[in-house]
Amino acid sequence: MEWASQLCENRGLGSKMTDSKYFTTTKKGEIFELKAELNSDKKEKKKEAVKKVIASMTVGKDVSALFPDVVNCMQTDNLELKKLVYLYLMNYAKSQPDMAIMAVNTFVKDCEDLNPLIRALAVRTMGCIRVDKITEYLCEPLRKCLKDEDPYVRKTAAVCVAKLHDINAQLVEDQGFLDTLKDLISDSNPMVVANAVAALSEIAESHPNSNLLDLNPQTINKLLTALNECTEWGQIFILDCLASYLPRDDRESQSICERVTPRLSHANSAVVLSAVKVLMKFMEMLPKDLDYYGTLLKKLAPPLVTLLSAEPELQYVALRNINLIVQKRPEILKHEMKVFFVKYNDPIYVKLEKLDIMIRLASQANIAQVLAELKEYATEVDVDFVRKAVRAIGRCAIKVEQSAERCVSTLLDLIQTKVNYVVQEAIVVIKDIFRKYPNKYESVIATLCENLDSLDEPEARAAMIWIVGEYAERIDNADELLESFLEGFHDESTQVQLQLLTAIVKLFLKKPTETQELVQQVLSLATQDSDNPDLRDRGYIYWRLLSTDPVAAKEVVLAEKPLISEETDLIEPTLLEELICHIGTLASVYHKPPSAFVEGSRGVQHKRLPPRTGSGESTETPDVGQSGPSEAPPAVIPSQGDLLGDLLNLDLAPPTATVPSVQPSMQMGAMDLLGGGLDSLLGGDIGGSPSMGAGLGAAPAAMPASLGSAPAVGGGLGDLFDLGGGVGMPTGSYVAPKTVWLLAMKAKGLEISGTFARRGGIIQMDLSLTNKAMSVMTDFAIQFNRNSFGLAPAGPLQVLTPLSPNQTIDVSLPLSTSGPVMKMEPLNNLQVAVKNNIDVFYFSCQYPLSLLFVEDGKMDRQVFLATWKDIPNDNEAQFQIKDIHLNSDVASNKLQGSNIFTIAKRTVEGQDMLYQSVKLTNGIWVLAEMRIQTGNPNYTLSIKCRAPEVCPFVYQCYELVLKN
Amino acid sequence: MIHSLFLINNAGDLFLEKHWKSVISRSVCDYFFEAREKAVEPDNVPPVIRTPHHYLINIYREKIFFVSVIQTEVPPLFVIEFLHRVAETFQDYFGECSESTIKDNVVIVYELLEEMLDNGFPLATESNILKELIRPPTILRSMVNTITGSSNVGETLPTGQLSTIPWRRAGVKYTNNEAYFDVVEEIDAILDKSGTTVFAEIQGVIDACVKLSGMPDLTLSFMNPRLLDDVSFHPCVRYKRWESERVISFVPPDGNFQLMSYHISAQNLVAIPVYVKQNISFFETGSSGRLDITVGPKQTMGKTVEGLVVTVHMPKVVLSANLNATQGTYNYDPVTKILVWDIGKLNPQKLPNLKGSLSLQSGAPKPEENPSLNIDLKIQQLAISGRLGSFISVGCDSLPAGPCDKALLLLTLF
């Protein structure tokens, strides 16, 4: 009690009356002292003790040992003490679940209290105690509180449902709380409505398909009414909920917009941004010639500008979102360039974002101002910022042609400063300017070359090397320059090595006489001494090209390069659309779709902007914006992080033409083709070079593992020889109708639909390619990613004539099963890359497993019996095939058409039992027993296989075949 | 929704944690500390930090980092706004928002945080309501509480919580009814070397302190509301009426609040009150330079310019400055390379001037960059936007019946 008396003394002296006294410790065990005080008879002492406990808790000290003593203080009519005890309970109940039960009675009693504040407090606290045993007791009080007469209690209870759902989702559903919650959307009190919406949204996030927020015009109307009257936070929840609604037509859309617009003047920036989201989304549906559309556009700018005068953290989030808005609708902020000028005291993260937006808004009208600003920024202190400013100058040059000359001279001025990182950054952007405006600014090359020695960053070195190689004929000492780089070849980064290789080859083709030695040196460095496969491959290709046909090599390597697009940093249109639907969220801050990174929301539905329903524009894709109706969207380089990025090793950098012509033939599949194919392809004169060994050495490694397990049938070649035998058989296998695999919108105008078929033992992929873009498409090639059964194209994609706009072409691509194998999810998933002269596109599709059922899949009866017994029962899977009105013979005939063979039939007590076998291309046997009861349209199917994961897919095939 | 909150001081000590859902280990803050270290300056810490399982959204106010942890998709602006609201509430309750006041009032802080959020959803954030639930500490009250044993937690449901005007408590009574409005305007302007305005805008707020009994309904009108480019209102303002009549009509909260903020960007309206003549040059040889700055009044409408401070960000090579100021004092910090000249009141008869030489690091090349000048000043009783401020009129539509003898209206214009 020494401590306690000390405390009393302190008080008597009237010393500082603050809570910091709760932190003071005593010599004796602190917990021990507190325990004694908590059990004191005096109320005041108890309260002080609990306060001390709470104070320790706030700094992360473990005071859970006091649990029973604190809970004992709960039965009190002193509200402050009660609140304090509740605070404690919420923190520690989880660690002492059995003790927490002690508190239940008090909670239940408090839920019946006359004071609504206490009722609400009790239900609120109970929801925070994440102990299963307690939640059971929570249900009844919660049900009552959801229907409480006092709205304060109802609104608290609404949130409590979300808490409970987080702890035990099943319980919430079983108890029907979700329906009660939905009813609360129609509550008379706006605060209750807002909280119900918030709770439902949170629950819906973990159940993406639950359709919890079933929005219809009536509920929307209620929400809009509540929007005007609820608190600012409630407004955010309601607006976010509204954003997920899809109006029926443009009139409804307009009326919602009208009622949301006042929110733009709210003091809370989160409300403003949520309102912007709703407007941006619904605006999409309004016809552009409508007066209201213009009014709305005008109304959006001022609030966005105002957001920039808020605290820097708010500015940052606002700027990230404005970045999206500017890309989608540049017209909104096109006159507001000046507000994005960087202020001296902006935090760096705000500065960088502002810079980004400045470039997006740069146009001929304001370029002079922008350049003057950027030049100032380039002399600032912060390195990151300066770099970005220099880069921005280059981007302006590329974007606004009229300004290119001024940009280049500005960049030259900056190079004169000799500030190392400024020079390097400037050289990188000048390279891009050269690519955009070839043969215009080469006079500056001399200045660039002066700074060769100071370049130490890979990107800058690579850029400089590219420039030297590209303009080798104008640089007298190009060979010396490149040779100097070659000395430290192995220490360079891959980027520089690749660039150096290409540059020297270019130089050789331009000045063959003087540089033969140099080119040989670099080729051997790249092919013999390097471990990097990219470098080696590129080296070989050049080597072979040069040795076979120097003229062709010239055509390939020195081919005219496509001009770089104006905005390489634009977000892909489909992603942009999705992000516009997520304005104000984390997704919009990271510029990534929510599915890509938010944990626990993997099933998030992709949101799309609604299609415009206005006059005559309905067929137009929404993202075309101000450009012509069917013009392809601006070229966008696909992000490198694409999951299929490694599929085609196509190098998008300079010598694109060479690679695809080689690759399909390499994919020919069958073993013996490879050697000869390579030989004929590469010509015999490369005997001395090490390429043969390496090329062939690598090939067998790529052979599918399945070959070994099924040597009899093997891959594509085996199937080919089987052809003769297969002709006489009924080829009634079912072919599904074509479905669209690749949307034109996602593939710059190329639409692909297709299906799979097995015709006479040959697997075919039937494709329809449609050109929905304005320009002609040529140079088609196809490639598959590794897949579960080693499917690979058995020949190149036969699109011989160029595909003109609006033309559709049907192609059948024979497939082999000798490609590389990798297990996919789902098993029958196939990832495909299609290339044309525009770009490479990726899509994935699923093939029916019956594609892989081979013609000799009829098993011997004895073997069948033995195998059936041999496969463990765990591997057996049972399925129901419903609504089949066929007798067993017809069914068995039908199945035979798809290579599902009936081996035996037994009839027991009016039940037909069919025993069937299937063999897959990789030699896996699937055994099945099908039970057919006369008069019963439901078949029972039992499937046994050593690889049980194929069973569901075999069942799918059964169903497909029998139903068609 | 908002999962947890950690308060961290400038030295990197975590001094308070609060969890609204399950407890998250404070080790999650390691990611924040990493970012903090990388940012060098505390102002430069990125507001949104991604960690493998959580997102940390933080603000930096009064040398304290408010770090909130979220786990699901939550609008970041919502979180940031809320954090600012927390800081403001502390300020409101304890007079200042600092580590020591928070530690001194840790229990109230905890009670406040619990009241402001429920399961991560905002519950009561209006100062009027919070003060009814949890009374702010005063020396007197803590004395009374210790003697009488009464508590500082309200026992009844706050009245405003459920009405359609949640910001105002019911049953307010004053013997003197008063309402004060402060118009505070800030100009943000960037001028180029020759003194031409590159960019200028006015950012204004109207702060109010309303102490009126009952349920007063006020209107406030501007003479020239068209000048306002964009306005943001306190939730109490009726937007419909503003849209149709350009009149601000509202039932005010009790006490201090920000009624509205506005934005004026029309350049011709923005009169810059002072001009600066400057000449800063560096010599090609001799590692030295000259500096000559004069400040004079431009459009001050007869008002005095006060609190004039000129800040110059010098190039890195400037080692020291040997200057002579005709008025005020100057100070050059060789570490940050910032020259501060504190002038004070501007005397239009005798213009302040700062003149002298700069010495540079020997051997270093002549600096390329132009030093930028920041000028801070204050003018009392003048709204830069001129015609806007001087015509504010306040009317009471329905003054409370009962003991309301007079409505005292005071306008202070800064």
How much is the pLDDT for A606? 60
How much is the pLDDT for A276? 94
Q: Which of chain B's residues have a Cβ under 8 Å away from the Cβ of A43?
A: 149
Residues of chain A where predicted confidence (pLDDT) is lower than 70: 1-29, 208-211, 565-569, 596-608, 610-733
* Candidates A59, A117, A160; nearest CB to B16: A59
How much is the pLDDT for A456? 84
Calculate the alpha carbon distances from A913 to A404, A862, A898 in Å.
80, 17, 19
CB A835 within 8 A of CB A660: yes
DSSP run (H or E) holding A470: helix A458-470
The residue of chain A nearest to residue B2, with distances taken between CA atoms, is A202
Q: Say whether residue A35 is in contact with chain B using an 8 A CB cutoff.
A: no
Instruction: Count A/B contacts: CB-CB distance under 8 Å.
Output: 253
In a mutagenesis test of the B interface, which of A371, A586, A601, A604 is the best target, namely the one with the most B β-carbons within 10 Å? A586
The residue of chain B nearest to residue A128, with distances taken between CA atoms, is B21
CB contact under 8 A, A302 and B263: yes
Quick one: residue A584, left, alpha or beta (phi over 0 = left, psi -120 to 50 = alpha)? left
Q: Which of chain A's residues have a Cβ under 8 Å away from the Cβ of B15?
A: 59
Q: Which of chain B's residues have a Cβ under 8 Å away from the Cβ of A227?
A: none
How much is the pLDDT for B294? 87
pTM (2 d.p.):
0.66
Q: Which of chain B's residues have a Cβ under 8 Å away from the Cβ of A316?
A: 46-48
B44 forms beta bridges with none
How much is the pLDDT for B290? 86
Q: Say whether residue A44 is in contact with chain B using an 8 A CB cutoff.
A: yes
Residues 135-174 of B with CB under 8 A from A: 139, 142-143, 146, 149, 151-157, 161-162, 164, 166
CB contact under 8 A, A78 and B151: yes
How much is the pLDDT for A269? 92
CB contact under 8 A, A54 and B198: no
CB contact under 8 A, B119 and A316: no
The residue of chain A nearest to residue B103, with distances taken between CA atoms, is A20
In a mutagenesis test of the B interface, which of A313, A418, A607 is the best target, namely the one with the most B β-carbons within 10 Å? A313
Residues 119-158 of A with CB under 8 A from B: 124, 127-128, 130, 150-152, 156
**Nearest Cα residue to A712 out of A919, A923, A517:** A923
Q: Beta strand pairing status for B55-61 and B48-50?
A: antiparallel
How much is the pLDDT for A351? 92
- Determine the distance in angstroms separating the CA of B165 from the nearest CA of chain A, rounded to an integer: 8
Q: Which residue has the tokens 């009471």?
A: B396
- Determine the distance in angstroms separating the CA of B122 from the nearest CA of chain A, rounded to an integer: 7
Radius of gyration of chain B (CA): 26
C-alpha A742/C-alpha A832 separation (Å) is: 10
How much is the pLDDT for A795? 81
CB contact under 8 A, B76 and A585: yes
The residue of chain B nearest to residue A45, with distances taken between CA atoms, is B149
What is the amino acid identity at position B232? S
What is the amino acid identity at position A309? S
| Sequence-distant (≥ 6) Cβ neighbours of residue A110 within 8 angstroms | A118, A119, A121, A122
* Candidates A19, A83, A267; nearest CB to B106: A19
How much is the pLDDT for B143? 54
- The length of chain B, given as a count of residues: 414
CB atoms within 10 A of CB A302: 20
- Determine the distance in angstroms separating the CA of B148 from the nearest CA of chain A, rounded to an integer: 10
What is the amino acid identity at position A142? L
Torsion of CA B87, B90, B91, B93, to 10 degrees: 160
- Determine the distance in angstroms separating the CA of B3 from the nearest CA of chain A, rounded to an integer: 12
- Integer distance in angstroms from the first to the last C-alpha of chain A? 88
Longest CA–CA span in chain B (Å) reads: 81
Mean pLDDT by groups of 10 residues along chain B of 414 residues: 90 88 86 89 89 90 92 88 92 88 87 87 83 73 53 57 65 77 78 74 82 80 74 84 84 85 71 80 79 82 80 83 87 85 85 87 71 79 52 46 33 33
C-alpha A164/C-alpha A252 separation (Å) is: 36
CB contact under 8 A, B313 and A344: yes
* ipTM for this model: 0.77
In a mutagenesis test of the A interface, which of B38, B119, B194 is the best target, namely the one with the most A β-carbons within 10 Å? B119
Q: Which of chain A's residues have a Cβ under 8 Å away from the Cβ of B258?
A: 267
Residues 210-249 of B with CB under 8 A from A: 229-235, 239-240, 242-243
How much is the pLDDT for A727? 37
Residues 224-243 of A with CB under 8 A from B: 229, 231-233, 236, 240
